[in-house]
Structure 1
Amino acid sequence: MDTAERAELVARHTEEVVTEEELHDLFEEQDEPTAYIGYAPTGEMHIGHFTTMRKLADFIEAGLDVTVLIADLHAHLDDEKSPFELLDARSTYYRLAIEGMVESAGADPDAITFTRGTDYQLEEPYTLELYRMLANTTISRAQRAGSEVVRQSDNPKLGGLVYTLMQSLDVAALEADIAYGGIDQRGIYMLAREVLPQHGFSKPRCVFAPLLSGLTRSDDEGEADKISSSDRSSGIFLTDDREAIEEKVQAAYCPAGEVEDNGVLEYLHRLVFPVLGVRGEDLVVERPEEYGGDLEYGSYDDLEADFVSGELHPADLKPAVAHYIDEVVEPVRERLLERPEVLAEAYPDHWG
């Protein structure tokens, strides 16, 4: 695989790469560059996390050395989204869930290095560098960088401000050439590109994944809601069974011929087709012969074209989407439900 092919593999199905030229140069300079993604173990993981997890399969195929950070301290610093006493249990759950998603997406979890924030964030030289960054960064700059990630308020807690600098410093501490995350992380990694060179570290390349919308819509704005761990109807969770997935997809906003704010199409575009692509499979929509018989799609663009034209109706599409999402989620669900004690310890209010 040459440089252009490796760079294309890393960049495909993403929202943005900063910058593509830097990414290309990286593969010219190094045989095995490093990449990392961090997850703060807060609420239960849902299908939206698959948009980032399935991308790791591309990273591994492109020859990247991949690290997944379970950012346990971050989970507590962000307005105590995870109580301190639950950090160990939730970190265990996140690793179990992430391993399941990576495997379901077609990659080997053993090819990934896992680490926790508490493995290195409490010791020098990390703490010393963090103090130096704190001394040089204004409150407004830290707030702006974390505005899409950290819970905001008129009277923010210091933890949320420190959070953004720690995430920037994690890139250097983990010696990552590529910082990878959802597009909501952009502000933090732009801060990293700005401040890390001032402290003697390299400027990271950044790869951003798109975010999945929820399946519900706001009554007042009419726009798709974000998936929320506190609202299990807003999206598909990794422990949802086939019946729950079918119910959520059937109830989802999916007007005939409309693409905008259509969560069903978004799930297909961002998750189902990329996973099927790795497997070398097409998507089949089953229809009665009286309505034209089955439809088969090798790409999302072809399916969207039929949907917009009216050839493909939501009533036929939704059962197929539910089937393929369940197929992707099933091995992760089984992995988690085989460890009920992990779920109970991590989320005692729901599983205890």
Structure 2
Amino acid sequence: MEANADYVRRGFRLAAPPLPDATAAALSSPRQHAVTTAKVPRRTAPGLFTFRDTVEGSFDLRFAALKSIGEDRVNDRELKLLLKKKHAPICYVWCDPCPWMNISQGIMKTLNINKMVESGFKVKILMADWFSQMNSEISGNLNKMRTVGRYNIEMWKATGMALDKVDLVWLSDEIRRHGDEYWPIVMDIARTNSVRRIKRFCGSRNPYAIGKLNVDEIFYICLQCASILFQKADIWLLGMEQHDANLLARQYYKHFKKKNKAIAVLDNMLPNLLQYPQMENRRHPAWAIFMEDDKEDICFKMEKAFCPPKLAEGNPCLEYIKYIILPWFGMFEVVQKKGNGGKKTFLSMEELTADYESGALHPADVKLALEKSLNEILQPVRDHFGRNGEAKDLVEAIGECYGAD
């Protein structure tokens, strides 16, 4: 859970760190949540679903919206039963506050949350700030982690997330007010699982970890699992980093014969942009696209990106198009170099894949088109942090928290 110490200030941005470790979430009961609702002018980002007033609308559309977030990582039967039972299920979304944000945490999360809002779900983002106490980079300072969380929220604001229809819940507030409910769950999880099993989960959560695990890392998975169980949620939107904690949570329900367990939707995860063996280097700057990247960064990363000709499966550039570009714009436009063909617009991944695997699309043309599309998505974010006073102050505060020069 340690952040990279090698931060470099460049304008409003901090240099993208290596692959981040996972961090955690929250829990509840019939009580009033400590909730902050961000009120911002609503603007609909390009490519977002527009299922308005779907509480009275199509069951199929609401089901499709959730399926599109997690694809095969959704239990269809459980989800259909829930949607038939409740018109406006409560969906919690896990967020580990982070001083950098890759494009999955920024753009993909915006797309997914807006889909759920437009589909009639009651969405609450859980800011897992409490786990900052395990982060030595900021000396376990909760106030600093709050600043990081506010920076993440400002980033979502710049992307067009429907924050005026989303509740923001801080885990530290929940635990402080309702520790009498939280800590017994933590102890139950620790008591009913072996050290060997917990260590296996920790290794899965952080496959890049080297050496022995500290006690806090072993205990962390119990805290994370308890945080998922604690909230009164119908659905949890989790990253793959929370997959093991969710499995522990399901075991907890089974062991203690608890009812009304929440359904977990695990969102899609973008692959490493680099080819083996470069992808093994966790300090390589081109492994992912970050929300703070400028045009030069995007150009550099696209030059390094792995994009094998005529091969769609396992192609990271095509994955970025599938999960970021097509959902955002509703299309992907390729301007091919002279001799490669003319300009072509793709409206579906199937169409793009067919042309690419046939050799009709050259990898260099795809990468140039992807670079252009990524810059179009990120330019409003750059403009926001370049012009908005509050956003600039947050960037300065982040630099102070992590000792950026």
Indicate the residue corresponding to 2:19 in structure 1.
none
Indicate the residue corresponding to 1:126 in structure 2.
182
What secondary structure sits across from 2:73 in the alignment?
strand
> Among residues 145, 154, 158, which one is paired with 1:96 in the alignment?
154
- 1:142 aligned to 2:142? no
- 1:173 aligned to 2:173? no
Tell me if structure 1 keeps the 8 A contact 2:100–2:292.
no
Tell me if structure 1 keeps the 8 A contact 2:99–2:398.
no
Question: Quick check: 144-153 or 130-139, which moved more?
Answer: 144-153
Tell me if structure 2 keeps the 8 A contact 1:249–1:318.
yes
Cα deviation per residue 1:161-188 (whole Å; 9 max; x = unaligned)?
3322222222333211112122342221
How far 1:290 moved relative to its partner?
A: 4.8
Kindly report which structure 2 residues correspond to 1:214-293, keeping only aligned pairs within 5 A, or say none: 214-219=272-277, 224=279, 231-277=284-330, 282-287=331-336, 290-293=339-342
How far 1:51 moved relative to its partner?
A: 3.3
Indicate the residue corresponding to 1:47 in structure 2.
103
Question: Quick check: 284-293 or 146-155, which moved more?
Answer: 146-155
Letter in 1 for 2:91: A
For residues 87 and 383 of structure 2, the distance between their equivalents in structure 1, rounded to whole angstroms, comes to 36
- 1:340 aligned to 2:392? yes
Question: Quick check: 313-322 or 7-16, which moved more?
Answer: 7-16
TM-score (norm 1): 0.86
Tell me if structure 2 keeps the 8 A contact 1:214–1:225.
no
Tell me if structure 2 keeps the 8 A contact 1:42–1:90.
yes
Question: Quick check: 192-201 or 257-266, which moved more?
Answer: 192-201
Letter in 2 for 1:114: L
Indicate the residue corresponding to 2:130 in structure 1.
73
Distance change >3 Å, CA 37–CA 147, structure 1 → 2: farther
For residues 193 and 88 of structure 2, the distance between their equivalents in structure 1, rounded to whole angstroms, comes to 33
- 1:208 aligned to 2:242? no
- 1:27 aligned to 2:83? yes
Question: Quick check: 58-67 or 14-23, which moved more?
Answer: 14-23
What secondary structure sits across from 1:16 in the alignment?
helix
Kindly report which structure 2 residues correspond to 1:302-317, keeping only aligned pairs within 5 A, or say none: 302-317=351-366
Letter in 2 for 1:346: I
Deviation beyond 6 Å, 4+ runs, structure 1: none
Indicate the residue corresponding to 2:167 in structure 1.
113
How far 1:82 moved relative to its partner?
A: 5.0
What secondary structure sits across from 2:395 in the alignment?
helix
Question: Quick check: 297-306 or 136-145, which moved more?
Answer: 136-145
Distance change >3 Å, CA 330–CA 304, structure 1 → 2: same
Question: Quick check: 294-303 or 82-91, which moved more?
Answer: 82-91
Question: Quick check: 205-214 or 160-169, which moved more?
Answer: 160-169
Indicate the residue corresponding to 2:37 in structure 1.
none
Kindly report which structure 2 residues correspond to 1:11-22, keeping only aligned pairs within 5 A, or say none: 11-22=67-78
Tell me if structure 1 keeps the 8 A contact 2:201–2:244.
yes
How far 1:146 moved relative to its partner?
A: 3.9
For residues 216 and 382 of structure 2, the distance between their equivalents in structure 1, rounded to whole angstroms, comes to 33
Unpaired stretches in structure 2, ≥5 consecutive residues: 1-56
For residues 158 and 341 of structure 1, the distance between their equivalents in structure 2, rounded to whole angstroms, comes to 36
Tell me if structure 2 keeps the 8 A contact 1:255–1:314.
yes
For residues 126 and 201 of structure 1, the distance between their equivalents in structure 2, rounded to whole angstroms, comes to 18
For residues 297 and 338 of structure 2, the distance between their equivalents in structure 1, rounded to whole angstroms, comes to 28
TM-score (norm 2): 0.75
For residues 34 and 89 of structure 1, the distance between their equivalents in structure 2, rounded to whole angstroms, comes to 26
What secondary structure sits across from 2:123 in the alignment?
strand
Unpaired stretches in structure 1, ≥5 consecutive residues: none
For residues 80 and 129 of structure 1, the distance between their equivalents in structure 2, rounded to whole angstroms, comes to 26
Indicate the residue corresponding to 2:248 in structure 1.
191
Letter in 2 for 1:169: A
How far 1:336 moved relative to its partner?
A: 3.6
CA RMSD of aligned residues (A): 2.6
Distance change >3 Å, CA 119–CA 244, structure 1 → 2: same
What secondary structure sits across from 2:190 in the alignment?
helix
For residues 123 and 240 of structure 2, the distance between their equivalents in structure 1, rounded to whole angstroms, comes to 19
How far 1:274 moved relative to its partner?
A: 1.6
Tell me if structure 2 keeps the 8 A contact 1:41–1:82.
no
For residues 332 and 140 of structure 1, the distance between their equivalents in structure 2, rounded to whole angstroms, comes to 44
Tell me if structure 2 keeps the 8 A contact 1:13–1:270.
no
- 1:182 aligned to 2:231? no
Indicate the residue corresponding to 2:119 in structure 1.
62
Distance change >3 Å, CA 191–CA 336, structure 1 → 2: farther
For residues 332 and 128 of structure 1, the distance between their equivalents in structure 2, rounded to whole angstroms, comes to 42
Letter in 2 for 1:109: L
- Which of the pair has the greater relative contact order for Cα pairs under 8 Å at 6+ separation? 2
Distance change >3 Å, CA 319–CA 80, structure 1 → 2: same
How far 1:200 moved relative to its partner?
A: 4.1
Tell me if structure 2 keeps the 8 A contact 1:16–1:209.
no
What secondary structure sits across from 1:12 in the alignment?
helix
For residues 35 and 13 of structure 1, the distance between their equivalents in structure 2, rounded to whole angstroms, comes to 13
